[in-house]
Chains A and B, each alone.
Chain A
């Protein structure tokens, strides 16, 4: 057996020069410091993304993306297909855990200012992937074609439509018409399984390549692991093995959640029914949803919803551009302002999510 592996390895090595790669991996180190625990959340996000790809492809074998058949096909998956309930439940739970892990990953990078030079591109690709992840969540949410999803999509696309100038054409593009109909479902299906995964995979490739090339960032003022001046561990196999152990734990957690709290299907969407009481979007949109509830109909001369959308859009742009705005961290100085902004963002999201959940 060993002999076969050795010969296969040699055969590839002779052609693709694997030796260089192995050498490179062997020289890569992960710093050990008080923030090391955060290094794992990127890996967890990656693992959950892989789960999504695998379970997503499995669901594709039975799912039918049309107004008449979408709800029924998921019902079929959950009631007739062997372990269909499990795969669908895992896909839904992993989606939520993925967003959560990506959020923790993002905030940890933000607070340690790891986005500073030379990792601006890593931050940018990460942020774009985060926005795509929200797009995955939003488009995937509609696919079961149940009433919660139907109204969530109406509200979400209407919010996009509130943007000045591009709002109207954007709304028609997203909905495939003026209203949310079967045409919207077809489009969202296409976005969810083709457009978004395609773009995401490219960004992920760049992101991972940059991480491999540049290594892990270290907190400001504690650099030195690269030269072996501070504590570090080899990336391979020490860090990888820890990563894999954590992945195993996450998979267990995922299985427990998916089995103990199976994801519900709800009622089929009815285009001519009132929005049900207690309608809420997924938790990661809840703080924005809740904010829109509190903004009055008109603020001075602007529509309340337009104002809300513009403020969130502006906040998102500034957040994404932080490597270029935070000059102090670039110079290796402490920047308290960034900490306060980050704390404000976390507190705001937590408070408004809880408010949205309670009311």
Chain B
């Protein structure tokens, strides 16, 4: 039986110490950086889930016009067409997040930012938008207009 040479004892002691110090350093970085990065991430705000909103009276919506309504914290576009149909869509352009508007002169839903166009069924027909606008349901009860999520 021979003892291991002193050098290798040193070696293993050293690598153990390196491991210990390196590990502590990593743990230290982790414990500093984790709170910092967590802080940078904005907390989720509790959102009230909105299923439908009351917009107002039908007579306040002239024919061939559109308006942006507040649906929770999202804009929704409500349109009364020239032939007296009510339609509602997500008001956020699917291209780069601008808010769209109704253009009676062109008969389309138009986004001013990059000249994107949607027809009155929400389909993207011209310009850069990659997807159609999500439709919303419009209900009229005793001349009161309600907009609701499609179920």
Contact = CB atoms under 8 A, between A and B. Distances in A.
Q: Do A and B interact with each other, yes or no?
A: yes
Interface of A: 151, 154-155, 157-159, 169, 172-173, 176-177, 179-180, 183, 271-279, 289, 292-293, 295-298, 303-305
Contacts of B99: 151, 272-275
B118 to A, nearest CB: 12
Contact of B113 (A173, A273, A279, A297): A279
Among B40, B95, B111, B128, residue most surrounded by chain A Cβ atoms (within 10 Å): B128
Given A272-B70, A297-B129, A177 B45 contact: yes
Contacts, number: 80
B76 to A, nearest CB: 9
B121 interface: no
B73 interface: yes
B42 interface: yes
A297 B41 contact: no
A154 B73 contact: no
Interface in B85-136: 91, 93, 95-101, 111-115, 124, 127-130
Nearest to B98: A275
Interface string B32-44: 0000000011100
Contacts of A179: 73
5 contacts: A272-B99, A274-B68, A274-B91, A275-B100, A305-B95
A151 B77 CA distance: 17
Contacts of A303: 130
Q: Give the dominant DSSP class at B's interface.
A: loop
Given A293-B128, A298-B130, A275 B111 contact: yes
A191 B10 CA distance: 51
Among B40, B97, B114, residue most surrounded by chain A Cβ atoms (within 10 Å): B97
Contacts of A155: 96-98, 113-114
Contact of B101 (A275, A278, A295): A275
A278 B124 CA distance: 20
A277 B112 contact: yes
Nearest to B124: A297
A293 B128 CA distance: 6
Contact of B130 (A158, A271, A304): A304
A275 B113 CA distance: 7
Enumerate the 7 nearest inter-chain pairs by beta-carbon distance, A residue then B residue, closest first: A274-B101, A275-B98, A158-B97, A297-B130, A275-B112, A158-B96, A154-B97
A296 to B, nearest CB: 7
Contact of B42 (A177, A275, A279, A293): A177
Given A158-B97, A173-B40, A305-B96, A274 B112 contact: yes
Given A272-B68, A273-B99, A275-B101, A292 B75 contact: no
Given A151-B113, A305-B96, A271 B75 contact: yes
B69 interface: yes
B114 A293 contact: yes
Contacts of A277: 112
Contacts of B113: 151, 155, 275, 279
A173 B41 CA distance: 6
Given A179-B73, A275-B101, A297-B129, 14 more contacts: A151-B98, A151-B112, A154-B97, A157-B97, A158-B96, A272-B69, A272-B70, A275-B100, A279-B112, A293-B115, A295-B128, A297-B95, A303-B130, A305-B130
Nearest to A152: B113
Contacts of A271: 75
Contacts of A154: 96-98
B127 A293 contact: yes
A40 B129 CA distance: 44
Among A272, A289, A295, residue most surrounded by chain B Cβ atoms (within 10 Å): A272
A304 B95 CA distance: 9
A292 B70 contact: no
Nearest to A179: B73
Given A172-B41, A272-B75, A275-B112, A296 B128 contact: yes
Contacts of A295: 128
A154 B129 CA distance: 15
A289 B128 CA distance: 12
A21 to B, nearest CB: 39
